Structure 1
Amino acid sequence: MKSKKPWLLFALLLIMSYYRSCFSIAGDTLSPGHSLSLSKRETIVSKGGTFELGFFQPGTSLKIYLGIWYKMFVPKEVVWVANRDTPLSDPSSSRLDLSEDGNLLLFQGSPWIPVWSTNLTFPGSNLTEAVLGEDGNLVLRDGSNQSCIFWESFDHPTDTWLPGSKVGINKLISWKNSEDPAPGVFSFGLDPNGSNQYFLEWNRSQIYGSSGVWNGKSFSLVPEMNGLSSQLHFCAKGQLRERVWWSGPRVWSEFWYAPWNLSDVFALCGAFGVCRDNLSNPCECLRGFEPFSVTDWSGGCVRKSPLQCENNTYANGKKDWFLKISNMQLPVYSKAYLAVNASRCKLACMENCSCTAYAYNRSGCMIWEGALFNLRQLSDGGETRQDIYLRLAAAEYQNTKGEKASSNNLLLFDFDAELYVIDDGMNTSNNLKRREKDAELPLFSYKSVSAATNKFSNMNKLGEGGFGPVYKGKLLQGKEIAVKMLSKRSGQGIEEFRNETILIAKLQHRNLVRILGCCIERDEKILIYEYLPNQSLDFYLFDQTKKKMLEWGTRIRIIEGIAQGLLYLHRYSRLRIIHRDLKPSNILLDCEMNPKISDFGMARIVGDNETQANTHRIVGTYGYMSPEYAMDGLYSIKSDVFSFGVLILEIVSGKKNTGFYNSESLNLLRYAWELWKDDQILELMESTIGYPSSTSIILRFINIGLLCVQESPTDRPTMPDVVSMISNEHAPLPTPKQPAFTRGRNVIDTNSTIDNPEICSKNSLTISTMEAR
């Protein structure tokens, strides 16, 4: 018996060693019938041993992800994550498998619950295999024809650009923080409008850095970024870094950062966070605030004590007050207010309970509503430093006892009713009554909205928009409603909320979504809409299965309904309104699949005789913005016409404009134009639902769509013209000119997922010359 004990000890050591280290199952390939098991810590390794695919836990996190990393590094240097939105939580029952139809599937639980998939729709093949290349690219290919690639991770980057991979419309998106690979607020990608330059963006909307245009050898603003042969890593703090690994000294060599100074990253410290120069930890919260998360500054800071303004009550005998903060770079998203002096500017902020700060300088009065972003503390001196007055709760005033307050850094104002004066003789209560009368919108209590949505239960959640979640609810009398809640941490939204409330309350048309009321209570801002059971147009239009529910008669009715809704906004409503964000997700469908235009948060009112305006704040969605708006900030009724033209072509083809890549085409507009020139325009029509009995009306819609997306606004028709073209089926139509955004090509080849197994993709780097306009 004693002689067997050393063997038992040896076996135990083997088992312990097995679970402490990863186990490579079959070289670089996952073959049919095989899987990677999380419980067995199985991996595959590229042929040269550079990259490894398997399961990992970032830092001290308990969440588990499938990813690719450099095998030689400890700790792991992860370059790609599959399930960054849906981490695994069950180590004992998770695995990566090749399904019968040839897809890669990530499962967990018992019974197996799918967590992530390559989601291809080609016929299954028992010869499909997944291979991890020495370049770090995970490829799903035909084992009998290895040059035929169905899917590759290079088409779906996360936060790292490896040599040979593609970054175009599919952007690099930073991790949320160093221990959470969920998508963060910073992104890096190609300008979808075809300008051949790359943008650094915050919150997918605010550009804070650019590569400049490719001149054939380098990018004009970042000449160091010329070869694109090194690794680009987009860190969680919003800084892009190019670096190379030197195997000799075993160190990373970093060539350049963008932006060079971390403090130049937009909204680095989140809402109500202040960025300070020359500090190892650059982020701090404003006084009266605390970090939302100690590990993730993108969440910014939240108030320690709630404001008292809205119900005008006292807290410990005091009311809300203002704190003067000097030497600041002023935050973004301000509103100009016409005030003759500093006192009137203060009163404007006092009177508005949504106002969180104000400033008065040589440029006049500025007020801020909602969260403050991109705050930066500047050193003494300099022309850009300003004073800003921050609204704080009464409880924070109590905390100042014992501290020395001087007129140089602290100003207090009580919110007495007598001070609520904007015009002589008009006090706050009268002003509020007048606003409520103007709005003509019922007010719901927070309690009733909470009860209608089962306390905003996740079971009632319909989705998440740009400014917050949307819930399904039911009123006491049984009426179903949709409840849109404005996120407290949204950098935008207060102005959009007010826009939508005032605008849509005044609009009544069968092709516009109806608003039933709003709730402004408990620091919440909520809109209540009619509930539309068939969700939005994009839910059907771009789904391989659901698009078949949109037969040709339904598509024609949807196009006609959208046209009628826009005609009402542009000409027949009480206000001339430019929507500015027309897209499939903002077209809701009722129980009979009739369209209703929704989401007026971006909309703008123009005068009766006014057709164009200018803005320095570009809002909207890439792929649907007209060129004059995207590039020069000029918006008009013709901007909506352009978006409508894109919608027509998407509805007819069943393809997204910005997500469409075919042969040499940059986008759907270019593809449609090439077919038009070659007299092959019938090929644009959605093939999965067959051809209509008569193609003439569909060809007419395509012609109208191309007229709407012409580059010059003066060449585009108005909506009355469009409706007339649709109604008069036999009237001749003008010949369209070349659409916008069709003259250049992508800098980087950004082939999307290939759904046909007979079509093979190949990584390539393509540089093209921009044509002058």
Structure 2
Amino acid sequence: MDTNATKPWLFFDLVLVLSCRLACFSMAGDTLSAGQSLSASTRETIASQGGHFELGFFKRGIPSRIYLGIWYKKFEGEDIVWVANRENHLSDPSSSRLEFSDDGNLVLLESWPNSPFWSTDLTYRLPNSTEAVLRDDGNFVLREKSNPSSILWESFDHPTDTWLPGAKLGIDKITGKPKQLISWKNLEDPAPGMFSLSLDPKGRKQFVLQWNRSHVYWSSGLWNGKYFSSILENRSTYALNFSFVSNKNEYYFTYSLYNKYFSSKYVIEFSGQIQQQAWEDSGWVWKLSWSEPKLADVYSFCGAFGVYNEDLSNACGCLEGFKPFSIEYTNLNDSSGGCVRKSPLQCENRTYANGKNDWFLKMPNMRLPVNAEAHSAASARACEMACMDNCPCTAYAYNSNGCMIWEGALLNLQQLSDRGGAGQDIYIRLAFNELQSRKGYKWKVWVIAAVLTPALGLIVCLCICFSSRGNLNRKGEEASSNDLLLFDFNIELHAISDGINTGDTSRQRGKKEFDLPLFSYESVSAATNNFSAANKLGEGGFGPVYKGELLRGQEIAVKMLSRRSGQGSEEFKNEILLIAKLQHRNLVRLLGCCIEGDEKLLIYEYMPNKSLDYYLFDPIKAKMLDWETRKRIIEGIAQGLLYLHQYSRLRIIHRDLKPSNILLDSEMNPKISDFGMARIVGDTETQANTNRVVGTYGYMSPEYAMEGLYSIKSDVFSFGVLLLEIASGKRNTGFYNSESLNLLRYAWELWMDDRIVELIDQTIGYSSTASILLRFINIGLLCVQESPTERPTMSEAVSMIMNEHARLTTPKQPAFVRGRNMLAANPATNSAGDGSVYGLTVSIMEPR
């Protein structure tokens, strides 16, 4: 009796609890109106009319970060499909709320600071009757209450990582802005990650997956009206109805469902894989219907220096000598951060000068990393030395395709199973410390020493004998020179470069001050058709430049020192001594020289696409420099300067960086040239002084032009000018009939007026990548700030260029914005008849 008597009271208590939960955690219906708000502290939500979706606050991470989002209501847990403030999380639940602002926009606020963390950000004032509604398709919309079909703003226009039925993925034709999916950073962080799914930016009817939103590593194949050519699984699907729409405002793909009891979504995982997930009412569990690409094919899936091995439970590991960049991210199954070295390389650690060299670890049966660079080395040993003598080189491989080297981070390295047999050997550069830590190191050293000691004694004896014999013939040999026409640089030069890169200065104290091929004047003349006018490429401050061709068909460029040049002899010698020691893919390669009597010539690799200024300032040719090409040129110049300032054996300041000194190879990759003005500074030196200022007007920093002080920050200033010129297509000194005086002042005025987009070269147009271009302009303005201490180093500049998520500071006023003649106040100004000012060379050369 007692049990039966309590049943009505238990039922009443249950109803009371449920009512309290509804009152505490849910607003009435699916609508948020003016005067209402959603609070994070009470976990208030609104739900779509059919109960499919819910909108409210959720937490992720440790410590907890608060986000406003939409999730499926019917599933256990929060299956998030949209996040409002993914780039700017909240942290205080007691004061976090969503409400309408005075202008009618929805805003997400915390009590302090009382500024919007997120907003619908409509620029016009909305009517007082505006309301926010969560619809049953998962779309959160702003609309006029009196006219529900009038949509003012919708979440479907701002997708995060999930594509729901009815939503659009495409490109706005008016703004160029894409509607794309961007992955979460990891399982606990909805911030934008490294991967995106979007329509092909080249205008083709296909989807592409991109790493860092720029590198395409997978495509769906073209749409033929029924299916995508590379997605065979979707040909026979019965549930999805895809369609492509193009009108005057936009073009996009959308899809709908045939079966009302079936639901589907596409999600781009933080791993970089796109997945189609589906469920039916009978299951209430998401099932994976399709995914692409395979994890092994996801670009940089294991990050820098990470190795993918599908035979292991944890597919990503680190190379020997490396450790995970972040244990926290690794525990979240996020390996995109990659691995870092346990010990710094010898060439990177200037304080570790104990003569213990880096070494190479053999990794067999590997799928080689991406972005290999071919090298002319003709043997495995020469290939190894080419990598060892180049500090940025991190690995090499030598196989039937020849020598390949890798600079910087290794990406997409995969350990293949023994069953495949398609792998190759790669040699990873490691620090000497890692060799010591290997098992059995000590006994191996003793064995090697026991074997090599007698051999070394024999070698020393032989060297003495041959040295004595060689001295008898050396006098006659020094007078001979190589025949340029017969020389094969691809085979022979690596042997010479072995001597150049050893750093043995004793080899430079003899009669020959450099180890480069020395060619006869007669053979150089024959290669250039007797320096004919038809072979002339251009003329600079030092003299003319000619194109030459060897008997094997290899093309070269020959720079001849003008006999009339009073300043050239020192610069000629300087260029030989400097460039012979430099090895980087973004520096022009010096192949040899010729010195006979008064004739002094330098032989370079031939650059078929001439120089950057040949295209940049020509309204017709500039169209060949699309934004991707300009971006690659900027990145290459930055990497080349970083090598000169930080990674080369000698710290070098170029002092004459300008468009005519940026040469372009057959693929429009940039190479810095013309080192006649360059200077070496010590590892600990920050600046130097000179009484003879040389360089080109418009590219020199103020402290150098006015006081003769130069440093690595002088090159940073020149790089900033160059970056602004590439972005705008305008010369820095091309504003003589304008009140802006120069490009720096013009850019600064636009920046201060919030009109910097007007600086973008019209031949590029305002494309979907315009935000990156505006970021580069910001970096350029940081580099041309008046004070050298305010400018970034090239290491910092490269970091800002390569990491588009890094925050940028606001630039300060650039130099040379106050007056037209920056040298007018300097009493040392000297006008010369050859177009030079105060030692400044004005080059009109069209380089090789």
CA contact (8 A) 1:328 1:388 kept: yes
Alignment partner, residue 159 of structure 1: 161
CA–CA distance in 1 between the matches of 2:20 and 2:429? 59
In structure 2, what residue type is equivalent to 1:43? T
Distance 1:19 1:422, change over 3 A: farther
In structure 2, stretches of 5+ residues that fail to align are 1-8, 171-177, 236-240, 242-254, 257-263, 453-462, 464-493, 506-513, 516-573, 583-631, 645-653, 660-695, 705-709, 729-744, 765-769, 786-790, 795-800, 804-843
Offset at 1:224? 3.3
Is the 2:657–2:719 contact (alpha carbons within 8 Å) kept by the matching residues of 1? Answer: no
Structure 2 residue corresponding to 1:201, chosen from 199, 202, 210: 210
Give the structure 2 partner of residue 498 of structure 1.
Answer: 640
Deviation at 1:58, TM superposition (A): 2.8
8 Å CA contact 1:36–1:95 kept in 2: the answer is yes
- TM-score with structure 1 length normalisation? 0.57
Greater length-normalized contact order (CA 8 Å, ≥ 6 residues apart) = 1
Residues 359, 72 of structure 1: CA spacing in aligned structure 2 closer, same or farther, 3 A cutoff? same
**1:581–1:31 Cα change, 3 Å:** closer
**AA matched with 1:324:** K
Whether the 8 Å CA contact 1:38–1:91 is kept in 2: the answer is yes
Equivalent position amino acid for 1:109 in 2: S
Counterpart CA distance in 2 for 1:151 and 1:439 is 61
The Cα shift of 1:131 comes to 0.8
Check whether the contact 1:513–1:530 (CA below 8 A) recurs between aligned residues: no
Aligned AA for 1:267? S
- Once the two structures are TM-superposed, the CA of residue 378 in structure 1 deviates from its matched residue by 0.6
Matched letter for residue 277 of structure 1: E
Q: 2:229 aligned with 1:220, yes or no?
A: yes
Task: State the alpha-carbon separation in 2 of the partners of residues 48 and 353 from structure 1.
Answer: 63
Correspondent of 1:238 among 264, 272, 289: 272
Structure 1 residue 282, shift from structure 2 partner: 0.8
Q: Secondary structure at the match of 2:320?
A: coil
TM-fit CA distance, 1:494: 7.6
**Which residue of the partner structure matches residue 747 of structure 1?**
none
Contact kept in structure 2, 1:38 and 1:95, CA below 8 Å: yes
Which of the two has higher C-alpha Rg? Answer: 2
- 2:270 paired with 1:128: no
Change beyond 3 A, Cα 1:421–1:200? same
Q: Is the 8 A contact 1:315 1:394 kept in 2?
A: no
CA distance in 1, matches of 2:94, 2:18: 16
What is aligned with 1:426? Answer: 500
Deviations 1:119-172 (A, max 9, x none): 110123211111111111111112221111111111111110000111222221
The aligned amino acid for 1:395 is: N
Identity %: 50
Q: CA deviation at 1:203?
A: 1.5
Name the counterpart of 1:86.
Answer: 88
Residue 274 in structure 1 maps to residue 416 in structure 2: no
**How many residue pairs were aligned?**
504
CA distance in 1, matches of 2:306, 2:637: 21
Structure 1 distance, partners of 2:578, 2:65, is 52
Q: Residue 292 of structure 2 is aligned with which of 240, 244, 258? A: 258
- Per-residue deviation, 1:424: 6.5
> What is the CA distance between 1:310 and its match in structure 2?
3.4
Deviates more, 1:314-323 or 1:170-179: 314-323
Q: CA deviation at 1:363?
A: 1.0
- Residues 1:550 and 1:56: Cα distance change in structure 2 (over 3 Å): closer
Are residue 306 (structure 1) and residue 322 (structure 2) matched? no
Aligned to 2:380: 342
What residue in structure 1 maps to residue 318 of structure 2? 285
Deviation by residue 1:373-392 (Cα, 9 ceiling, x = unmatched): 00111112546411111111
CA distance in 1, matches of 2:407, 2:291: 33
Q: Which residue of 1 aligns with 2:179?
A: 170
d(CA) in 2 for partners of 1:620, 1:394: 29
SS of aligned partner of 1:395: helix
CA displacement, residues 519-555 of structure 1 (integer Å, 9 cap, x when unaligned) = 69xxxxx9566879x99989x999xx9897659xx96
Q: Which residue of 2 aligns with 1:188?
A: 197
- Paired AA for residue 360 in structure 1: Y
SS of 1:348's equivalent in the other structure is: helix
The change in CA–CA distance for 1:500 and 1:14 in structure 2 (over 3 A counts) is farther
Q: CA RMSD in A?
A: 5.0
- AA at the equivalent of 1:336: A
Once residues 37 and 513 of structure 1 are traced to their aligned partners in structure 2, the CA distance between those partners, rounded to angstroms, is: 56
* Pair 531,297 (structure 1): closer, same or farther in 2 beyond 3 Å: same
Of 52, 57, 69 in structure 1, the residue corresponding to residue 54 of structure 2 is 52
2:329 matched to 1:329?
Answer: no
AA aligned opposite 1:391: R
- Aligned residue number for residue 571 of structure 2: none
| Secondary structure at 1:47 match in 2 | coil
Decide whether the 8 Å contact of 2:75 with 2:284 is kept in 1: no
Conserved? CA contact 2:657–2:718, under 8 Å: no
Cα distance in 2 for residues equivalent to 1:438 and 1:364: 25
User: Quick check: 1:176–1:298 contact (8 Å CA) kept in 2?
Assistant: no
Counterpart residue identity of residue 107, structure 1: L
Q: Which residue of 1 aligns with 2:39?
A: 37
How far apart in 1 are the matches of 2:349 and 2:95?
A: 53
Distance 2:345 2:369 in 1: 20
Give matches, 1:570-609, under 5 Å: 583-587=773-777
Unaligned runs of 5+ in 1: 1-6, 442-489, 521-525, 566-579, 602-618, 622-719, 721-773
| Equivalent in 646, 649, 658 of residue 507 of structure 1 | 658
- What is the TM-score of this pair, normalised by structure 2? 0.52
The answer on whether the counterparts of 1:440 and 1:505 sit within 8 Å (CA) in structure 2 is: no
Shift of 1:112: 1.2
User: Within 1, Cα distance between the matches of 2:776 and 2:580?
Assistant: 23
Distance 1:250 1:357 in 2: 50
**8 Å contact from structure 1 (residues 315, 395) kept in 2:** no
Distance change (3 Å), C-alpha of 1:514 and 1:198: farther
Give the letter for the 1:175 counterpart. W
Provide the rounded CA distance (Å) in 2 between the counterparts of 1:440 and 1:219: 52
CA-to-aligned-CA distance 1:152-201 (integer Å, 9 cap, x gap): 11111111000011122222111111111111111111012211100011
What is the DSSP-based 3-state SS (H/G/I as helix, E as strand, rest coil) of the residue aligned with 2:639?
A: helix
SS at match of 1:224: helix
| 1:427-466 aligned within 5 A | 427-429=501-503, 437-438=578-579
Secondary structure of 2:45 counterpart? strand
Question: C-alpha deviations, 1:319-364, integer Å up to 9, x for none?
Answer: 3211111111111122111101111111111111111111111111
Q: Quote the offset at 1:19 in angstroms.
A: 8.9
Looking at structure 2, the residues matched to 322 and 351 of structure 1 have their Cα atoms a distance apart, in angstroms, of 13
Task: Return the alpha-carbon distance in structure 1 between the equivalents of residues 272 and 643 of structure 2.
Answer: 34
Q: What is the CA-CA distance between 1:18 and the residue it aligns to? A: 6.9
Query: Is the 1:190–1:197 Cα contact (8 Å) retained in structure 2?
Result: yes
1:732 alignment partner in structure 2:
none
How has the CA–CA distance of structure 1 residues 21 and 30 changed in structure 2, closer, same or farther, with 3 Å as cutoff? closer
Where 2:640 maps in the other structure, the secondary structure is helix
Change over 3 Å in CA distance of 1:105–1:306 after alignment to 2: same
2-structure distance, mates of 1:273, 1:306: 17
Rounded to whole Å, the distance in 2 between the matches of 1:437 and 1:550 is 43
1:767 equivalent in structure 2: none
Q: In the alignment, which residue of structure 2 is the partner of 1:360?
A: 398
The residue identity in structure 2 corresponding to 1:291 is: P
SS of aligned partner of 1:389:
strand
Q: Is the 8 A contact 2:500 2:580 kept in 1?
A: no
SS in 1 for 2:288: strand
| Separation in 1, partners of 2:746, 2:59 | 37
Q: Is the 8 A contact 2:47 2:134 kept in 1?
A: yes
User: Quick one: structure 1 residues 122 and 90, their matched pair in 2 at CA, closer, same or farther if it must change by over 3 Å?
Assistant: same
CA contact (8 A) 1:313 1:319 kept: no
Structure 1 residue 37: deviation in Å? 0.9
Name which of 415, 423, 428 aligns with 1:390: 428
Specify the alignment match of 1:758 in structure 2.
Answer: none
